[in-house]
Structure 1
Amino acid sequence: MITCSAQTVHTNNIKIREISSGSPQASSSRSPQEWQSILSHAVTEPEELLNTLGLNPDLLPGAVTASQSFRIRVPHTYIARMEHGNPDDPLLKQVLPISDEMVEAPGFSHDPLGEQPKNSQRGIIHKYQGRLLLMPGSLCAVNCRFCFRRHFPYDDNKLNKEEWQSALEYIRQDASLKEVILSGGDPLVQNDRRLKWLIEELANIPHLQRLRIHTRLPVIIPQRVTDDLVNSLTSTRLKSVVVIHSNHPNEIDHTVSAALSRLYRAGVQLLNQSTLLKGINDNAETLAELSEVLFHNHVMPYYLHLLDKVQGAAHFEVSEEQARKLVGDMSQFCSGYLVPKLARETAGMPSKTIISPTYHSI
């Protein structure tokens, strides 16, 4: 595990990082106001992030230039898990804008998954049979530099009261739908009252069976897991599935562990999907440790995605050949259920494409 300024605690041979009581992350309060305050005070200027971590000011010009096309946003709860003075910290590299983002890479586009042609209904992306994606908002708690929706036309998908009803009516009219996926922008940026209303509206649609939420909030701002949120996820007939997006074991500290435990104890199914990122998690040991830490915290490793080829993220790309080898190597020292499916999402395909690992005899 990469050395961090935070203390590492070993629990049943699983490494979980412990933040000191003086950090912004140590609070265990679950009041709605706390997570909203953390979000509103997120770092939004490259200079502040570099100064907070004691990093070389030579990084500033590239960070400023890259952040003009895709804004930086990083809450202090996430920064607290980064190593002071380390420009190669695996959490920092996910969020720090760099000049490489400005390179126009062949084969990379603004809509790598072909979502915009499937966005005919405002606030809805309907690509796959039996499920659709509903976008409650455009804001994320953290702007990941590899985000495949960094160029998405969110302004064209904002929903007013009438448009919300239109989106819900679209779902009511399609009896083939079994699952609604909340994504965006991070859906858990919405307040508890609004989420409660939306979940109850969806639960009143008879043919729906599941609600799936894709979110980074339990990892980035674990205080987001409030009593009201947990109650909303578990008080209707819908089966709730929360897919967290964790890419490195250093992201899981004791506050994250507590938030995940609350969701699990309430009956929420927890899954994880990661993106394979060059210089961050592109080695079998890191991926295996992430799976172990996730499972220790009641989260099943689900998918390991090849990078979606969005313009501005080419420097994160790991080749398919290397990815297959990494997952094959990972299988040598992980139980089968801890090895996520290696997957690629391709525009126009009816589902994700599962890629077989490359195995080596021992």
Structure 2
Amino acid sequence: MSWTHEFKDALKTREDLSEFFETDFPEIKFPLFIPKVFAAKILMAGPDSPLWKQFLPHSEEDSNLGRLDPIGDKVHAKNNQLIHRYENRVLFTPTTVCPVLCRYCFRKNELSEKDEIFDQKFKEAIAYLTVNPEINEVIFTGGDPFILSNEKLALYIQEFSEVESIKYIRFHTRTPVILPSRIDEGLLAVLTSASALFKRCMVMIHVNHVSELTEDVRDAIALLNENHIEVFSQSVLLKGVNDTTEDLYNLFSELADLKVKPYYLHHPDEARGAMHFYMGLEEGRRIFAPLHNKLPGWALPQYIIDIPGGEGKTSAFNPESFEFNGSLINRNGEKVKIN
């Protein structure tokens, strides 16, 4: 079965979910989407599993707690498919479509509303990069860029390669985990071509728990490695999903064995509709700290937090104290009070 068929053959309504999982789910305001091939893995894992908790709807999603735009995407959006938060790099938003809808997603409000940051204005994006030569990296985000066709991806890559200042290209994706069949010959050819056009081409896989690394996912990662594609990972610390040192150790050590560099562990964002996954910084620090003693530095990701309001990422770990005093240093080196 092709990845496009698997993608189309998805559960998209509460009724679909109830029939497939033979249980009732709450009616929520956010959309639903789970390919059946992945839903079968969730069903096998069961209701108490990290898979079930990450992808199946919860009544607390309708809570008004949290922020609509927790990391300040709209503060730095340029109305041309680009979000320019850091001097040397931009996020590029070519699609609102994902291979699955994660219940904890920090962009779940923007994606469900088809926010204007996803408007297709590619010519304006290229023009912006051309007049801002300090930008040397384009990061494909979304949505999920690997849901685009190979032809569309190749077009974007070629256009970015013709901007003289762009040296690096990066793809943030959950597709190798949710639809590993997407890592096919066509996509590998596109990524190999990108590696020749830029100084570095990197794939950043989003994975939160070792149970997501099933045999077909491992095979997809192996294909990326065999084709000399640099593979990194990013994960989110989530209450009830991977909120123990053992959970994180198992995930990062397994990724390292698969030749995937654990890059980021995100502290959960205060996203509206996802606050049941949230935890305080002190709790997160206590979970993360023992990993320094259990993993080599090259297998230990940066534990980071996106400061609300668009202030940027900063280290979530403080070697001086587990306690949090309410202030963080933003991307410009300024102290920002966040609660």
TM-score for both structures, normalised by structure 1 = 0.82
State which drifts further: 121-130 or 146-155: 146-155
- State the partner residue of 2:53: 93
Given the alignment, which residue of 39, 48, 51 partners 1:79? Answer: 39
Q: Does 1:103 align with 2:63?
A: yes
Please list the CA deviations of residues 216-263 of structure 1 after superposition, one character each: whole Å capped at 9, or x if unmatched. Answer: 001100011121211111213211111111000010111111111111
Q: Does 1:52 align with 2:10?
A: no
Given the alignment, which residue of 133, 144, 147 partners 1:175? Answer: 133
Q: Work out whether residues 74 and 117 of structure 2, in 8 Å CA contact, stay in contact via their aligned partners in 1.
A: no
SS in 2 for 1:212: strand
Could you tell me how far apart the structure 2 residues matched to 1:137 and 1:256 are? 23
Q: Does 1:292 align with 2:250?
A: no
- State the partner residue of 1:10: none
Q: Give 1:53 shift.
A: 3.1
Q: Give 1:52 shift.
A: 2.4
Q: Give 1:104 shift.
A: 1.9
Given the alignment, which residue of 329, 335, 343 partners 2:304? Answer: 343
Q: Give 1:359 shift.
A: 9.6
Divergent runs of 4+, >6 A: none
Q: Per the alignment, do residues 41 and 176 of structure 1 end up closer, same or farther by CA in structure 2, a change over 3 Å counting? A: same
Q: Give 1:293 shift.
A: 1.5
Could you tell me how far apart the structure 2 residues matched to 1:231 and 1:86 are? 37
- State the partner residue of 1:41: 9
Given the alignment, which residue of 70, 73, 76 partners 2:30? Answer: 70
Could you tell me how far apart the structure 2 residues matched to 1:276 and 1:350 are? 20
Q: Does 1:192 align with 2:180?
A: no
Q: Does 1:207 align with 2:165?
A: yes
State which drifts further: 225-234 or 180-189: 225-234
Q: Per the alignment, do residues 281 and 50 of structure 1 end up closer, same or farther by CA in structure 2, a change over 3 Å counting? A: farther
Q: Work out whether residues 139 and 170 of structure 2, in 8 Å CA contact, stay in contact via their aligned partners in 1.
A: yes
Please list the CA deviations of residues 173-220 of structure 1 after superposition, one character each: whole Å capped at 9, or x if unmatched. Answer: 211011001001111110001001111111111111110110000110
The residue type equivalent to 2:35 in the other structure is P
Percent identity over the alignment is 31
Q: Work out whether residues 60 and 273 of structure 2, in 8 Å CA contact, stay in contact via their aligned partners in 1.
A: yes
The residue type equivalent to 1:104 in the other structure is N
Q: Does 1:119 align with 2:77?
A: yes
SS in 1 for 2:204: strand
The residue type equivalent to 1:272 in the other structure is S
Could you tell me how far apart the structure 2 residues matched to 1:122 and 1:205 are? 16
Q: Work out whether residues 45 and 52 of structure 2, in 8 Å CA contact, stay in contact via their aligned partners in 1.
A: no
SS in 1 for 2:290: helix
SS in 2 for 1:230: helix
Q: What's the RMSD between the two structures over aligned residues?
A: 2.0
Q: Give 1:85 shift.
A: 7.7
SS in 1 for 2:146: helix
Q: Work out whether residues 46 and 96 of structure 1, in 8 Å CA contact, stay in contact via their aligned partners in 2.
A: no
The residue type equivalent to 1:211 in the other structure is I
Q: Per the alignment, do residues 112 and 155 of structure 1 end up closer, same or farther by CA in structure 2, a change over 3 Å counting? A: closer
Could you tell me how far apart the structure 1 residues matched to 2:171 and 2:131 are? 22
Equivalent positions of 1:1-362 (< 5 A) are: 34-54=2-22, 56-57=23-24, 60=25, 62=26, 64=27, 66=28, 69-84=29-44, 86-105=46-65, 108-152=66-110, 153-160=113-120, 163-235=121-193, 236-238=196-198, 239-347=200-308, 351-356=312-317
TM-score for both structures, normalised by structure 2 = 0.88
- Residues paired across the two proteins, number: 316
The residue type equivalent to 1:76 in the other structure is K
